[in-house]
Structure 1
């Protein structure tokens, strides 16, 4: 902080280790030097608690910025920054651009979170932009996480970042929670029937918390009621007509919803393919879990928190205040409740299904599952009473789940690197995604192959030595919003050369007569390859 050299610090601390206190003290030093601070949080959901803690320490010089604010609120914040009334801004990724004249420190909390990447134009990763702005302003950048992204940890081990370690929980906080893994396949064999939403062990643990007036959190990273509507006669699934995806049934709205394009329609009473009326809802979402736990625990005060239930401008803040006052016994939600929240009365975390993100066709699936489980587990036992975590899974032997149960980030890093090094995937090398889409599948495929030819010809040149091209291949989700999608990947260790090669290929590609039939989307360091 005192050197003003734009250093980057990776603060790896287990959940409850006091990372926020480190942020507060670093910011206090920046203020003492007459400088300002930005604190980024991955979810608007985390903002109220952070703001409360920062204002308790620094008073009214703390401002808030996020996309749910009105234009008037944003303008007022900008004006107060320019007048010197606001010296600390807390918010999601766009808060990074707060116009401080003497920026001293940038905090990127939960830096591993993929929501820091903006996936619409202009595409940028807030963590990476924070590093650039920190260097430009000679401001310290603190990347904080219990489960750092492999990219950040790799850079720390390579000496690009300074690694700071908080391996134990802070004094006054109970030790890391115990974790129990429930094999749901064994439960199924044991009962010769579906075990339902919750295993017997998890039901028993919730009952104990209700008796002791302690809070419990249930996590399922899938919203809606049922993931598919399927015909039992011909096995046809009700899919979105514009996307390569099944439609999710939302019981609260009594309709099917495509989570890719937002299309809504009524659920078919008869199968569109064969006419059978034997249509069944299959799969699990937060709405179905809510229905089940209301039946199981009629005396419990239950709240569901996901992007469907927290739609209003102040909905999350109102919900958080009520949870903090212990007006709810059972908190059910998606990943938005798994990160950063500090509730001293919460002693049980139940992972309804650890498998939802595990088998996605993305090389980061294991890393993301580990992070989600570890972060969710860290919500338990932050007060005087010890915490307990129960994880339900049909794949309990998977390395990501096993390592999360042992709080073993180092083991996760080594396992992932063993798989990624031979593939030369991040963090070993960098990627640029070039996605070609068209209304006709043949056009998308043909133009992707034309672009591939241009890229490969360039990759043979000496100035692009060491760069390679992967693909083209249809995206795992092949069609979105009526457009067929093919992807190419440029891979290499030299970002400037990769950018130059992609730019040269696209300039030549733009000269083709058929270019107007397709859309091309370039994404540097992609976080989503679906």
Structure 2
């Protein structure tokens, strides 16, 4: 056959490309362009991966491309290679990687025309700057607001103008006729090589003086030629963000058209990073040259920011894990802050590690990548020990008089033996320390990684415990909402007045969550302004930022929260950190539990004493002699990491072996286990399987969620290549198996 044919990737589980006939006159098709195609009885958006002069599909089975997104520049060959690598390594179809990585608005053909329309801008001319203030009536507040915004920014996009005044476009057109304003219509993508809007002149923000260690780190990153992976190991408060800022400033000075990607683990960390970057680059970059990408953005805003990165107009992109798959055609540096954080591993759909993909992407492009953390992951630490990563160390805090906090362990068993009073889980020494901080006008932080009021509601008379009818888990008591809520499926009910089994009215909460500690603090520390920050108190958009602003403004005396407050935040007035209920993680079946707990405690400890105030950390524990707490008291990450790596080596655990996890979900546990048993049998027939160890199928810790039963099968090998080859050969047999609702294969699992 002759003509034009395209092979298209669709968001579909099968690892296949689909052939279509291209008959459109809109433009010549290219790899990386989006198309609308018929698929079964519906239409779908796909990504062109190949353009050919022939097709092996019979002509009577070929269907035509319905539409092509001609206005959007095609995704680059390196981006397609990145998506291809992620699909291959994580054992998914190319379309399952490429299409979800795009903004939802770009996957809707009905929005293409509006989203990719030519950009209209209005620029204020010198004549207008002189004439406008006197030409507007004093009572025309909306017109004055429009004129003021135009004068401040120098120019406005049409959409920005409409948001300020309902008749903005007609008004601006009139000002154009008067010679005060210039109208410009820019075709989409035409500004791909520009640096963006020229920022208004202003006083340069003076950067702080670098310490010797910071200067050495910046110099090493700047001197890198081609691919280089740096592990920036800096204690909390050591100024890792300043190193990022200086390294990016040097990059943009060398190459004004370069782009950089900065990843953070959580959405609530993006506002402070964005503020720091906009402040530092205010004199050199326009507002539109710094954009954010995360799931908390509205669809339209996320699409605009993604397109700004895709066309090269955005120079610095700040984002969470999904941003690692953003299209940046001139990407010249990547930064992964808090690289150890488990949030970088996606737990649904494509189960990828954003940190690992960032390193691969940097190697692919031949550019530097900086992985920063006070508590690096053991995988990254091992890479540095082997010399694959260059380790840069910041051993002191950036502020001259700011020292690391002292860590003291409160032995709860000793407190109990001596009959000392406690306040709902708050020991006497911790309460006394908080009262002392309150008197001095300093802030305290109480960390408890458990939200809700209490994890269990039970009956002492008959042993009844409130459980979720859809999950094999207890429901959590949320006292302010007067509700019992399952944190796995969202099921919710009212608090019963009596025990459903025996009628006893003395049902009581067991254990403590952040809500209960917030309540206890009100009576334990009278007069203190207590604020709770967790997933329950920050459900509304923008609420987390508002609450953190209250803390920074000094309107809070005691902050109570979960891991949301444990990392990345620069609390200037916090001088005391109290840690509650950390012991639970000491005896977990998960071999990564100790690593996570140590990182969590080191991170939350680092919130104290950052601005020169003497910092203190009080950890309540029943196991004060545990080696983890001794390493924490010494602030000895290096000793802890090396000890953990020794244990992992002896036990043949990652990073010394490579793992994959097959999970199955069925209507019964027996069905899920039977599927995994068949899968293990099929694996035995795979030729490459002799270098792979297969463990017995077992139920998950939380066996049932939403009435679906779950089990898992662990596969591991000492060779990454052997594991990958085995998984690839195993996939056809897995797809042929039946008997479960769903199954998924996860490479490099974090939760086992």
**What is the TM-score of this pair, normalised by structure 1?**
0.95
| Corresponding residue of 1:7 | 228
Q: Aligned in 2, Cα 1:455/1:276: closer, same or farther, shift over 3 Å?
A: farther
Distance 1:122 1:287 in 2: 34
1:322 aligns with 2:550: yes
Distance 1:68 1:316 in 2: 12
Moved more, 240-249 or 488-497: 488-497
- 1:85, CA displacement in angstroms? 4.1
Given candidates 384, 393, 416, the residue that maps to 1:156 is 384
Given candidates 702, 709, 716, the residue that maps to 1:477 is 702
Q: Deviations over 1:145-166 (max 9, x none)?
A: 0110001101111122111111
| Corresponding residue of 1:87 | 315
| Corresponding residue of 1:216 | 444
1:491 aligns with 2:716: yes
| Corresponding residue of 1:228 | 456
Distance 2:616 2:654 in 1: 34
Given candidates 415, 434, 451, the residue that maps to 2:643 is 415
Q: Aligned in 2, Cα 1:455/1:270: closer, same or farther, shift over 3 Å?
A: farther
Question: What SS does structure 1 have at the residue aligned with 2:281?
Answer: helix
Given candidates 494, 497, 509, the residue that maps to 1:266 is 494
| Corresponding residue of 1:306 | 534
Moved more, 163-172 or 243-252: 163-172
Q: Deviations over 1:189-209 (max 9, x none)?
A: 222776632111111111111
Distance 1:110 1:509 in 2: 36
Moved more, 103-112 or 472-481: 472-481
- 1:406, CA displacement in angstroms? 1.3
| Corresponding residue of 2:728 | 503
- Residue pair 1:184, 1:195 contacting (<8 A) in 2 also: no
Distance 1:500 1:268 in 2: 54
Given candidates 243, 261, 273, the residue that maps to 1:22 is 243
| Corresponding residue of 2:167 | none
- 1:413, CA displacement in angstroms? 1.5
Question: What SS does structure 1 have at the residue aligned with 2:697?
Answer: strand
Distance 2:725 2:496 in 1: 51
Moved more, 200-209 or 233-242: 233-242
Distance 1:85 1:320 in 2: 31
Q: Which runs of structure 2 are paired with 1:91-102 in the superposition (5 Å)? A: 91-102=319-330
Given candidates 249, 258, 270, the residue that maps to 1:47 is 270
Given candidates 395, 411, 426, the residue that maps to 1:183 is 411
Q: Deviations over 1:472-508 (max 9, x none)?
A: 1122222222122221111113223212322333422
Distance 1:465 1:30 in 2: 48
1:134 aligns with 2:362: yes
- Residue pair 2:236, 2:603 contacting (<8 A) in 1 also: yes
Given candidates 534, 540, 564, the residue that maps to 1:336 is 564
| Corresponding residue of 2:749 | 526
- 1:122, CA displacement in angstroms? 1.6
1:122 aligns with 2:350: yes
- Residue pair 1:69, 1:313 contacting (<8 A) in 2 also: no
- Residue pair 1:361, 1:476 contacting (<8 A) in 2 also: no
Moved more, 472-481 or 328-337: 472-481
- Residue pair 1:433, 1:524 contacting (<8 A) in 2 also: yes
Distance 2:691 2:728 in 1: 17
What residue ranges of structure 1 are gaps of 5+ in the alignment?
Answer: none
Given candidates 345, 351, 376, the residue that maps to 2:579 is 351
Distance 2:501 2:268 in 1: 42
Question: What SS does structure 1 have at the residue aligned with 2:564?
Answer: helix
Moved more, 29-38 or 151-160: 29-38
Distance 1:115 1:372 in 2: 13
Distance 1:238 1:30 in 2: 57
Question: What SS does structure 2 have at the residue aligned with 1:510?
Answer: helix
What residue ranges of structure 2 are gaps of 5+ in the alignment?
Answer: 1-221
Given candidates 410, 420, 436, the residue that maps to 2:664 is 436
Distance 2:239 2:361 in 1: 26
Q: Aligned in 2, Cα 1:41/1:472: closer, same or farther, shift over 3 Å?
A: same
- Residue pair 2:259, 2:312 contacting (<8 A) in 1 also: no
Q: Could you say which structure has the larger radius of gyration?
A: 2
Q: Aligned in 2, Cα 1:500/1:84: closer, same or farther, shift over 3 Å?
A: closer
Distance 1:29 1:357 in 2: 42
Given candidates 248, 255, 259, the residue that maps to 1:36 is 259
- 1:271, CA displacement in angstroms? 2.9
- Residue pair 2:485, 2:492 contacting (<8 A) in 1 also: yes
Q: Aligned in 2, Cα 1:111/1:233: closer, same or farther, shift over 3 Å?
A: same
1:398 aligns with 2:626: yes
Distance 1:431 1:69 in 2: 34
Distance 1:10 1:517 in 2: 43
Q: Deviations over 1:72-103 (max 9, x none)?
A: 21122234335544211112112223322211
Question: What SS does structure 2 have at the residue aligned with 1:106?
Answer: strand
Question: What SS does structure 2 have at the residue aligned with 1:433?
Answer: strand
Aligned residue pairs total 524
Higher RCO (C-alpha 8 Å, min separation 6): 1
Distance 2:664 2:326 in 1: 34
Question: What SS does structure 2 have at the residue aligned with 1:240?
Answer: coil
Moved more, 175-184 or 448-457: 448-457
1:467 aligns with 2:692: yes
- 1:2, CA displacement in angstroms? 4.7
1:244 aligns with 2:472: yes
| Corresponding residue of 1:56 | 279
Distance 2:401 2:268 in 1: 23
Distance 2:712 2:501 in 1: 31
Distance 1:8 1:437 in 2: 39
- Residue pair 1:343, 1:382 contacting (<8 A) in 2 also: yes
